[in-house]
Amino acid sequence: MPTRGANFTVPADAWTIGQRVEANAPRRVALALALAGALAICWRAAEVHPLALFEASALASVWHFVCGMFPPDLSPDFLRVVASAIGQTLAIAIAGTALSILVGLPLGILSATTPRRGGVLLEGDNWGTGARAMAAASHLARAMLGFMRAVPDLVWGLLFVVAVGLGSLAGTLGLAVAYGGMLGRVYADVFEDVDPQPVEALRACGATRAQVFLRAVWPQAAPSITTYTLYSLECSVRAASVLGFVGAGGIGYEINLSMRMFEHGQVLTLILALVALLTANDALSRFLRRRLHATCAAQNSFARRLTGRFVRRVVGRASGVLSRPLGHALSRAALPVAMALAVGFSFYVVGLTRGALFDAGVVERVARFAGKMFPPELDSTFLSSLATPLLQTLGISVIGTLIGIAIGAALALPGTSTLMLVEPDAAGRRTPAERAARRVVYQSARLFFTLLRSIPELVWVLIFILAVGLGPFAGTLAIGLHTGGVLGKLYAETLEEVPKEPIEALRASGASPIQILVWGAWPQARPMLTSYTVLRWEMNLRVSTVLGLVGGGGLGQAIYNNVQLGFYARLATLILVVYALVMMTDWLGDRLRRRSFGTRLAAR
């Protein structure tokens, strides 16, 4: 019933909503105070001193560094070094990705759980001893994948540098473990999401587990598996470019060496080569994914036909082969042959085909190194000393992400084509000069955040160390700039992909770009922007655990110091702390994303 006043009527539901708002007000105030307190702690832990950037000594150091970078070193001898470093980086990435597939695929198959807690190969089995053993192995495989992907690739690279020595082999093994965990988890999720009807049809015909997987599960999952593997290769190239900072070879090793020798002209040449490599890698990855998306429908249709034929063959015991023209078969075989040659050559470059991995001395060193890490150091004095680097790591990730959000938002607005670029026949008057100015601003913003995200965080750390010195502030600024480039690109692409009808309607009514953003693009893009921001914070936390390896503070500094001192039991404890921190962040991020999704559904 409505509630009546002197001159008006208040609906009962509005009265209830008002009561809820009043009831939730203290909780919101408490939450705001808690967030403000946490932010203050993170600010202090990150040792943020903005005025330090404008001190005379800092400006002089940066100016000296910038002047020393010009002209870049373009001598033939050094260009050969750059070309060799790029080739080694690509070889590490390709070989590491190939090994990560060999590691991740069987673990992904084994850990692909179902509602019956078994796995894709146990669906429909009787819950006997064999099925129970397989289910236990599935849970173990999932735990292994979680640990492998939680420990950052740079830490894995450092561990293998200590175990097998300096060089590209250590970097390859580090990538194989880190990305094997990531791919295994992704593969398991893809296997879980396949259409169960072909699986049930084959099981009804009496097909074996291997036949069910090869004929029902794999054909459906293959397009997504290929797409994620290509994305993993793209990420591996980025990771391989910085593994050299811990001695694992590649272009990162040359950058670190030139920085230590104060050869700033060489540093500029290497950074330009790195930006060109990563830009070409992004372009190639986008092209290949676009081609895969274009053929996904045809592949799924073929997979369904193939499954149907197999069912008929099982029922009728008929046999046959799929005929293909010779030219079509040769064209389909060209890509696998090229990939096999690339993988084989990469294995040769990193030393996998020369017996380095199976050398008796290497195996003995790895076993001895692993033995020294157990049992982990659990002394209370040592554990209490980890509080400061742990808080520094959290502070670096939080404050760096906030800086990145500010930079990304500032770059995304001029970098969004639907806001900046206007077609000649669009509503409203736009002079040619204004359209040209808008395009210049748009291209400049795109170029700027491409530059920011192309330079890895570890390179930014080395640059900021010159300005503000060693410590977490340098790591915070490094994460902020790199995150600004990444989020700027993601924000701009998200704003461009929203439905254009509201934007066109606002533009036709004469709305300004800010009004179009506030009333047209933002309400539609807000959930995705929130998801991207939370995901980026999770990634920044992983990165902040390793920035100390080059002087950026946090847990990475403690890891580096204990490696240098040979305290491997303490190193094991630090790795467990990193694992726990990353898993806690993943859980918190999932909660935030689910809450955001639930809020969006409630709003609808």
pLDDT averaged per 10 residues, the chain (length 604): 48 53 71 87 91 88 89 93 93 94 90 52 55 76 87 89 87 92 87 80 79 82 83 87 87 90 91 88 75 57 47 41 49 75 90 68 79 89 91 93 94 82 58 82 88 88 88 93 91 82 77 77 82 86 88 88 89 91 81 62 48
**What is the predicted pLDDT for the residue at 273?**
92
Q: What is the spatial distance between Cα 401 and Cα 536, in angstroms, rounded to a whole number?
A: 8
Q: Tell me how long the chain is.
A: 604
Q: Do residues 572 and 579 touch, judged by C-beta distance below 8 A?
A: no
Q: Are residues 391 and 305 in the same domain?
A: no
Q: Is residue 563 part of a domain?
A: yes
Structural domain of residue 159, as residue ranges?
74-316+342-372
Domain count, the chain: 2
Q: Is residue 517 part of a domain?
A: yes
Amino acid at position 119, single letter: G
Q: What is the spatial distance between Cα 427 and Cα 419, in angstroms, rounded to a whole number?
A: 13
**What is the predicted pLDDT for the residue at 517?**
76
**What is the predicted pLDDT for the residue at 270?**
92
Q: Are residues 352 and 413 in the same domain?
A: no
**What is the predicted pLDDT for the residue at 320?**
42
**What is the predicted pLDDT for the residue at 597?**
53
Q: Do residues 113 and 138 touch, judged by C-beta distance below 8 A?
A: yes
Q: What is the spatial distance between Cα 194 and Cα 216, in angstroms, rounded to a whole number?
A: 9
Tell which of 356, 372, 388 closes a domain. 372
Please name the residue that has the structure tokens 């190194």. 369
Q: Is residue 26 part of a domain?
A: no
Nearest to 224 by CA among 193, 260, 250, 255: 193
Q: Are residues 411 and 361 in the same domain?
A: no
Q: Are residues 400 and 505 in the same domain?
A: yes
Number of C-beta neighbours around residue 58 at 10 A: 17
Q: Are residues 367 and 386 in the same domain?
A: no
Q: Are residues 514 and 392 in the same domain?
A: yes
With helix as H, strand as E and coil as C, how does 84-124 read? Answer: HHHHHHHHHHHHHHHHHHHHHHHHHHHHCCCCCCCCCCCCC
Check which CATH number belongs to the domain holding 79 and give it.
Answer: 1.10.3720.10
Q: Do residues 95 and 352 touch, judged by C-beta distance below 8 A?
A: yes
Tokens of 31: 């939450």
Q: Is residue 279 part of a domain?
A: yes
- Whole-angstrom CA distances from 258 to 51, 85, 189 are 29, 13, 43
Q: What is the spatial distance between Cα 522 and Cα 26, in angstroms, rounded to a whole number?
A: 29
Nearest to 113 by CA among 90, 140, 94, 92: 140
Q: Are residues 251 and 128 in the same domain?
A: yes
Q: Are residues 204 and 79 in the same domain?
A: yes
Phi/psi for 3 (5° steps) reads: -100, 125
Q: Are residues 424 and 522 in the same domain?
A: yes
Q: Are residues 365 and 424 in the same domain?
A: no
Q: What is the spatial distance between Cα 143 and Cα 153, in angstroms, rounded to a whole number?
A: 17
Count, in order, helices (H) and strands (E) of the chain: 24, 2
Tell which of 353, 372, 391 closes a domain. 372
Q: Are residues 158 and 109 in the same domain?
A: yes
Q: Are residues 125 and 162 in the same domain?
A: yes
Q: What is the spatial distance between Cα 335 and Cα 418, in angstroms, rounded to a whole number?
A: 37
**What is the predicted pLDDT for the residue at 392?**
93
Tell which of 354, 372, 390 closes a domain. 372
- Whole-angstrom CA distances from 202 to 123, 187, 223, 312 are 12, 22, 21, 10
Q: Is residue 578 part of a domain?
A: yes
Please name the residue that has the structure tokens 């005929």. 323
pLDDT, tens only, 411-453: 888 888 877 776 555 555 567 787 788 888 888 988 888 889 8
